[in-house]
Amino acid sequence: MIAFFEKIRDYYWSIIPYDRRPWQIWYKIKCWAWKRYTTVKPRYLPHTWVDRVDVLPHTMFEILSLFIEKECSPEIVDWEATGHMIKVNDRIVNVRDEMQDLYDWWHRFYNKQKEEIEDKIWEEADQHRPERFFRESEDGFGSIFDPVYKSEEDKEIYDKCIAALSNLEENAKKELMERMHRLVNLMPYLWT
């Protein structure tokens, strides 16, 4: 009797692909409905349209954040004893320390302090902004960029604020690229 059921099971397994078997279908439903392991929702992005150039770093660092917060506990992997080392800027560091450094930079500086600095600069710029940015063209068709400031000092301060914002953005972009490269180098170690 048992041999008969084994023959039925073997025949069923030979016809039905592995991923169509009942327990695999149930597993897929579970993953789709409750535990979405393949869906990454970056916490610092708004739920509106975002350019792809912004989605990529946010997704990369969200994966690192989820790994550190949920999978990278000391009970699972003894990072000190395993001797996982990586070369960063011509020095050898422990992989876990590098992960923590990237995690701290992402959550503390890039998404918090950078925004606070930008807000302070914009507040200063708003106090000295031009009374008018554009004027009518002589022929009456369109407008010409010709800002009018209250004083020459306002113009200097406003220009310095805009230059500082541009410089901050450029430096942040360079550092982001460098940190993204460092994160890609950690990819072989993002397992538990």
Distances (CA, A) of 130 to 30, 44, 71, 109: 57, 32, 52, 31
Same domain? 25 vs 89: no
Same domain? 1 vs 63: no
Same domain? 15 vs 110: no
Query: Hey, is 156 helix, strand or coil?
Result: helix
Q: What is the mean pLDDT of each run of 10 residues along the chain (192 residues)?
A: 78 72 77 72 82 90 90 70 80 88 92 88 88 75 77 90 93 94 90 70
Same domain? 121 vs 50: yes
Same domain? 21 vs 96: no
Give the pLDDT score at 164. 94
Q: Supply the range of the domain harboring residue 14.
A: 1-39
Same domain? 58 vs 7: no
Give the pLDDT score at 130. 83
161 burial class (0-12, 13-18, 19+ CB within 10 angstroms)? buried
Same domain? 55 vs 130: yes
Same domain? 70 vs 35: no
Tell which phi-psi region holds residue 142, choosing left (phi > 0), alpha (psi between -120 and 50) or beta: left
Same domain? 15 vs 82: no
Same domain? 7 vs 63: no
Domain count, the chain: 2
Same domain? 3 vs 51: no
Same domain? 144 vs 73: yes
Give the pLDDT score at 74. 63
